Chain A
Amino acid sequence: MSSIFLYALAGVGLFSLGLYALIVHAHLLRKILAINVMGSGVFLILVALGGRTAGVVPDVVPHAMVITGIVVAVSATALALALVLRVQAATGRAELPEEPLE
């Protein structure tokens, strides 16, 4: 198995770890961090799969899309953080209310 698939599988691992943390943690800051980890996994998969060309030069289209994606992820994170600050100002806490398990 080539190293490309190793990177892509690591991306799947990052994505799954992030998804787990997103579901388990009630604190909103942790959820934002989890979404960022998930996004990094997706970027890693995209960049890795772009390297499957025969020559030395990888497929640049996924690379360009990842550059775009990183900037969008940063701005979405900033918006999410501003929303968390508003939630904290309105409710006094930056967590989701804990639902009783039934």
Chain B
Amino acid sequence: MNVAGRSHQITAFRWGLLLLLSTVAGGLCYALLSLPQQAVGLSEQVSANMEASGVQNPVTAVLINFRGYDTLLEMAVLLVALLGVWSLGSAEAHRKIDPEPVLSLLVGGLAPMMILMAGYLLWVGANAPGGAFQAGSVLAAAGILLLLSSKRFPVRLMGWPLRVVLLLGLGAFIAVGITLLFVSGGFLQYPSGLAGALILFIEAAATLSIGVTLAALFLGGRPQAGPYR
């Protein structure tokens, strides 16, 4: 096939694709616009049960209490993604780069502040925007900055201590869920009065796990130092 014929075909393909996608977009727009202007959704059920949820922030209540299953399975998804990355190979050998002095200095000052910030976000999530995911992301950002500035994590922490922290969130969630299955007769059915403390416990464990998992995903492979090479 000559070059002109091929480019002609590609142009025709793109126009056809544009037409098809405009149809899809038009259909989606039509579906959206035919929705009712006002919808209560689940907000009334949420606000009716806020008293029993143990926290004052409705988003946290939905995440850990009302729809705890979602968050539990999501922790599992995070772990499976990390296992997938680890099974593809080990992380590149640490290139010995001297970090820029500015980065080095900045990370040295920022990392402790970010860890403090993560703790604050975790605590404030009970009654204001915040919570395990936000705190975990800040923690992960601190870890990634440390990795970028070539700060080496102690080799002895790369073996089973790392695995324990990775499993902590999912483990705490499942442990609380199964304990409650026997105590109050429902998986993740928090007894009133204890709900706030249990949610804080699960969120603290989840924060650590999310932060460390995201930072470990950034490495792009299994850390090399460790007994399970």
Contact = CB atoms under 8 A, between A and B. Distances in A.
A77 to B, nearest CB: 9
B81 A79 contact: yes
B21 A59 contact: no
A12 B25 contact: yes
Interface residues of A, number: 46
Contacts, number: 135
B17 A24 contact: yes
Interface stretch (B67-75, B145-153, B155-163): B67-75
Contacts of A63: 59, 62
A83 B131 CA distance: 31
Contacts of B136: 71
Classify chain B's interface size: 35 or more
A78 interface: yes
Contact of A20 (B17, B74, B131): B17
Contacts of B58: 57, 60
Nearest to A2: B37
B116 interface: no
Contacts of B40: 53-54, 59
B85 interface: yes
Given A54-B38, A85-B220, A75 B25 contact: no
B28 A52 contact: no
Contact of B77 (A16, A75, A82, A86): A75
B195 to A, nearest CB: 16
Nearest to B28: A12
Interface string B204-222: 0000001001100110110
A8 interface: yes
A55 B46 CA distance: 14
B6 A52 contact: no
Nearest to B213: A75
B43 interface: yes
B41 A75 contact: no
Nearest to B220: A82
Contacts of B74: 68, 71-72
A61 B24 CA distance: 27
B41 A57 contact: no
A23 B17 contact: yes
Given A12-B29, A59-B40, A68-B63, A75 B214 contact: yes
Nearest to A74: B214
B17 A82 contact: no
B89 A86 contact: yes
Interface string A10-49: 0011011001100110000000000000000000010001
Given A64-B59, A72-B77, A5 B32 contact: yes
7 contacts: A5-B33, A19-B21, A53-B39, A53-B43, A71-B74, A72-B77, A100-B1
Interface of A: 1-2, 5, 8-9, 12-13, 15-16, 19-20, 23-24, 45, 49-50, 52-55, 57-65, 67-68, 70-72, 74-76, 78-79, 81-83, 85-86, 100-101
